[in-house]
């Protein structure tokens, strides 16, 4: 099972910079270990306000208890709070079929978009089924073009919005109210090429 985790770090005031540097270094090492084990799939840095330290992570775990073990093993957890969203498979997810050759474009910007779908009670079931079928066909086309990377259903108590990392050009092909630009965590200054989990430096 996959989980989308929003990790927010608050370093206590007065903490020595050397201590922060040490924890960051150990976090990078641990992230690489988790990635090698298949526990950590991706890391992104969403848009941040000055002073914010927040990271989005895509994790895989058999159950919530195993996920907690993984998160608790990360050194930054001593200063971090984690908001976990369990993800369930979605029929339009292109991941099981694999990305077509040439679809991955490392220079392209990634976006996390949450879709909240509300179907009016007056809409006939046949119309809903038709729209779902058309959506599935279009999602497959966009996946083939490299625009949709993943589609998952978020398990929530009252709603199940769909979350899917989509890719647009750096110019911003997607200008939607519920759009959040994502940057891969990197070792150095701002860059355009995605990197593997654990290679990144968390930004305060």
Token pair 């993943």 in the structure block, residue? 150
Predicted pLDDT at 156? 61
Two tokens at 86? 């369990």
Tell me the pLDDT band of 92, cut-offs 50, 70 and 90: confident
The domain ranges of the chain are 2-88, 89-182
Q: With pLDDT > 70 as the criterion, what percentage of the chain qualifies?
A: 70
- Within 8 A by CB and 6+ apart from 116, the residues are 159, 161, 178
Tell whether the torsion through CA atoms of 125, 130, 136 and 139 is positive or negative: negative
Whole-structure pTM value: 0.68
Q: Where are the extended beta strands (E) located within the chain?
A: 2-9, 40-45, 54-60, 80-89, 109-115, 152-154, 162-168, 179-184
Predicted pLDDT at 45? 86
Name the architecture of domain 2-88: 2-Layer Sandwich (3.30)
Distance of CA 26 to the CA centre of its chain: 22
């Amino acid at each position: 099972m996959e989980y989308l985790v929003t990790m927010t770090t608050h370093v206590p005031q007065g903490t020595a910079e050397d201590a922060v540097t040490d924890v960051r270094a150990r976090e990078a090492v641990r992230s690489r270990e988790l990635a090698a084990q298949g526990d950590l799939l991706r890391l992104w840095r969403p848009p941040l306000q000055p002073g914010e330290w927040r990271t989005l992570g895509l994790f895989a775990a058999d159950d919530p208890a195993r996920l907690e073990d993984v998160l608790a093993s990360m050194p930054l957890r001593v200063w971090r709070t984690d908001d976990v969203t369990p993800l369930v498979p979605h029929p339009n997810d292109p991941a099981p079929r694999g990305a077509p050759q040439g679809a991955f474009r490392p220079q392209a910007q990634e976006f996390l978009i949450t879709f909240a779908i509300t179907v009016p009670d007056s809409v006939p079931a046949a119309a809903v089924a038709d729209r779902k079928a058309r959506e599935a066909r279009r999602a497959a086309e966009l996946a083939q073009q490299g625009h949709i990377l993943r589609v998952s259903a978020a398990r929530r108590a009252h709603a199940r919005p769909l979350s899917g990392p989509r890719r647009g050009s750096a110019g911003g092909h997607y200008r939607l109210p519920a759009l959040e630009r994502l940057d891969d965590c990197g070792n150095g200054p701002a860059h355009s090429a995605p990197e593997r989990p654990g290679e990144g430096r968390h930004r305060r």
